Every structure is written in structure tokens, then in C-alpha cells.
Amino acid sequence: MSLATVLEKWGRERPYSYFVPQTLTYSQAAEKSASLASQLSEGSTVVHFMFNSVESILAYLAVFWAGGKVVAVDPLTSAEDLRFILEDSKPDVVFVDEETLKREKDILKDFKVKIPTFSGTNRKPPFYYEDGTPGLSYYYAGIAGRTMEVIHSGYRVWLNSRALYEAIGLQTISTLLTVPVAHVLGNSVLGVTLESGGLLVPMKKFDPAEASDLIVKYEMNFLATVPMVYDSLIEKGHGLSTLEVCISTAAPLFPSTVKGFKEKFGKDIIQQYGFTEGLVLTLQPKETAGIITIGKPLKEVRVKVIKEDGKEAKEGEPGELWVMAPWLMLGYKDKNENQGIWRDGWLRTGDIVSLDSNGLLYFRGIKKRMLKYKGYPIFPRDLELILLQHPEVKDAKVLGEDMGNIGQQPVAHVVLRDGAKTNEEELINYVNSKVAFYKRLKKVIIVNRLE
């Protein structure tokens, strides 16, 4: 199974049901994805570098249909970040849209680039992935703490969507895609919608008024997004009476957001927890709404909490979360990085949690070197390596500065070489010209030595 086989099933069983309301039926979606898939070879590596749109979703699913590996790249990725991913993944083709093509033409010119067209005629059934066959890659290696390829099985991606759909408890899901499909969260929203044979409206850029209008118009019952979106809906949203399940993930959820959303809309926000290497692993039971917890493991997920001394934590004690699930990543492309994170089938997440007597997990912090800014992961080591390329920089350390619900913004402490003439502004510009918007340094502090 894969996300494409689910699409094909609904295309046969519910051909006239809408996938995208008033725009695209399931039979039309299946036909278009299959036509694009016919232009790809089985086993192709396809970089998906597109903003959310109907065409973007169909192109994403077409790679699974063809039996390829989709390298999911955030459409805001730019400059040296993008070049690294393209050179490392060596794609057979890069799917782009007009905006990403125009913005990154200088880097994309060295690769085979295609704006997807849905005109193929050789209709083949969707590819059936075996458990170990790669189908999806990300370049956010959160546990390892640097940018490198994280490889998933196409089958396991579907398996995770199935487990999450069953845990959510809605028969048919109607929702918005508020984050790029290139993210674990975006992929999971697409996956559970497909599992239910439901309705999906992709949003290129989130706007609370527009989102509210869409939720009201199509009587949507599900929303899974980041805390910032809930904050913006509290400030400028309206309606939302049809929502039955509201999930927050990818960044810390503050009690003020939960309280404000409940007061304005009468709706509870619950949390789910996941990460690039493990996909979605927990979901908060609805009856515990109001408690800030990342919930309980999904069915088939096993967890344990391990203290610094290697012993399993007791109730309420903090420790590193270890997980075991049938949909964990196949591994990192860099084989050496795999050795330190696995223990007898358990994946060491680098996240600090505690477990209560009711089996609820509470997020307490991180061991790994990763920041979250507006729901995006930032690896300090990536920014430090760029700073160290500057001829006048001797050493650098990037830390996170707390920004409340936004997350942590990266701040660099830099030691200069003797006789250096550079300054903070020049170093900020040096780094920020090479990275995507969410990874940009907000401050540089020049120091005599690093703590």
C-alpha cells in the first residue's frame, strides 16, 4: 500500500466524490496522478519543490503512483540549502511551480526541472511498495542535528497515516492543508484525509480570514496545524462551529492558546507528537483536552523513558523518549549516523519527556541540538558551519532565544580571528544570504571566547 493506492481505491469506489471540493473528484485526481506517473520511471528520485496547490498534491502522489522516491523539500528552501539537497539527492527530475522556478532559477538550471503536466496516457496501476522500498525522503535529521537525508518506506508512510486516522476517530475528514505537504505534518494531513476518502483544500499561504471562510463554507470537521495558526485564528478568525477535532503539533502549545481558542470558538485543542525520523507517534485523547500533554502512543507504538544513568524512569521522572513503531524511518543516508540512535530496535528521539500514571506523555525539553521557529526545525550546527566558512571567523556557537509561541530564534556567538575587521551586520548578511527565511540569524554577538 501507499498513499497512491488509497487514491486509486477511492477513484474506483467513489469516482464522483470530491477530493478537492467543487474542483476535483477522486476519479479525476486518480486519473491525473496516474497520467503524470506514466512520465516517470519506477525507482525514480523526484524532488518535490512546490508550494501547496492542487497540482502540487497531485504531483506528490504521482511519485508514489510511479514507485519512485519523493524528496520532499519545503518550497521556501533557497540558496545553499537548496543546492545541497539537490546535489546530495541527485534527482532524476525536480518538480517545480512557476514561483519556485523563477526564484531559484540559478540553482535549478543545473538539474532536470519540470512543471508537472497531467497529459500522459499510459495508465498503470499504482506501485505496491514493499516494506523496505524507499518512497519518501526528508532533509531534516532532527535527532542527528544536521541537514541530511532521512529515508522512509513508501509503505510505512501509508501505515502511519492509517494508524493516525483510526486514532482521530472521524469517519470522513474535511480539512485545510495549512502547512507545506513537504513537512511531516503536511504529509500526515494529506494521508488521513485520503484514508477517509475526505475533502482537502490546500492553502499556499495561511490567512485566518480566508481559512475561516473555507471552514465555514465546506463545513470542515478537522484541523491539524501549528500553534501560530491557532493564535492567528483567535485574533482574526470567525465561525469554526463545524470543527470536531483540532490538533496542534510541531511546536510548543501554550495554555494561553488553548484557553483563548476555547473561549472564542468553544473548541478544544489537543496535541499530537512526531518528528522526521518517526512520523506521527502520539495523539492526545479528547477526554484529556485542557491538559498540556502530547498524549498517548498510537496503536502499535511502544515507548519507554530512559534516564541519564540508563535506567528506565519512574512515574513523573524526566528522561529521554525511546520509541519503537512499524513505521520508523529506514535510516539516514549517512550510515555512520545510524549507529548512535538505535538500541535493539528502539529509536532514541533526543526528546525529554515524563510519563504519568494514566499513560500520558509530557514534553520536557530536548537533548538534541535543534531549535523550532514558527514550526520549522533549525539545526544550529548548519549555521555554525556556514559561519566557520567566513575567513575572519575563528569559532561560532548558535543558541536559541525564546520567542514565546513563535519558538526560538537563532542567535550566534562568534569569536573572530586576530585582526578581523568584520562586524555583526556583515556576518548576519553572510549567513542569511545562504539559507531559507526560517533559518536566518536574528542576532550575532561577537565575544572573546565561547562558554
The domain ranges of the chain are 1-368, 371-446
Mean per-residue pLDDT for 162-180? 98
User: Would you state the pLDDT for residue 209?
Assistant: 98
User: Would you state the pLDDT for residue 229?
Assistant: 97
CATH superfamily of the 1-368 domain: ANL, N-terminal domain (3.40.50.12780)
Residue 90 contacts residue 71 (beta carbons within 8 Å): no
Least confident interval from 146-150, 189-193, 198-202, 359-363: 146-150
Residue 429 contacts residue 443 (beta carbons within 8 Å): no
CATH superfamily of the 371-446 domain: ANL, C-terminal domain (3.30.300.30)
Reply yes or no on whether the pLDDT at 364 is more than 90.
yes
Per-residue pLDDT tens over the stretch 107-140: 999 999 999 999 867 678 999 999 999 999 999 8
Q: What angle do CA 162, 55, 274 make, to 5 degrees?
A: 35
Q: What is the CA 82 to chain-centroid distance, rounded? A: 17
User: Would you state the pLDDT for residue 119?
Assistant: 83
Distance (Å) of CA 445 to CA 289, 417, 441: 42, 14, 11
* Radius of gyration (C-alpha) of the chain in whole angstroms: 22
Mean per-residue pLDDT for 244-269? 96
10 Å Cβ neighbour count for 447? 14
> Can you list the alpha helix ranges (DSSP code H) found in 266-372?
335-338
User: Would you state the pLDDT for residue 340?
Assistant: 86
Per-residue pLDDT tens over the stretch 306-338: 999 999 999 999 999 999 999 999 999 998 899
Distance CA 108, CA 62 (A): 21
User: Would you state the pLDDT for residue 328?
Assistant: 98
DSSP string, 212-253: HHHHHHTT--EEEE-HHHHHHHHHH----TT--EEEE-SSPP
> For residue 375, is it left (φ>0), alpha (ψ between -120 and 50) or beta?
left
Reply yes or no on whether the pLDDT at 47 is more than 90.
yes
Q: Give this prediction's pTM.
A: 0.91
Taking each helix axis from N to C terminus, what angle separates 54-66 and 26-37, rounded to the nearest 10 degrees?
A: 60
Reply yes or no on whether the pLDDT at 237 is more than 90.
yes
User: Would you state the pLDDT for residue 437?
Assistant: 84
Share of the chain above pLDDT 70, in %: 100
User: Would you state the pLDDT for residue 142?
Assistant: 87
Per-residue pLDDT tens over the stretch 415-430: 999 999 999 999 999 9
User: Would you state the pLDDT for residue 146?
Assistant: 85
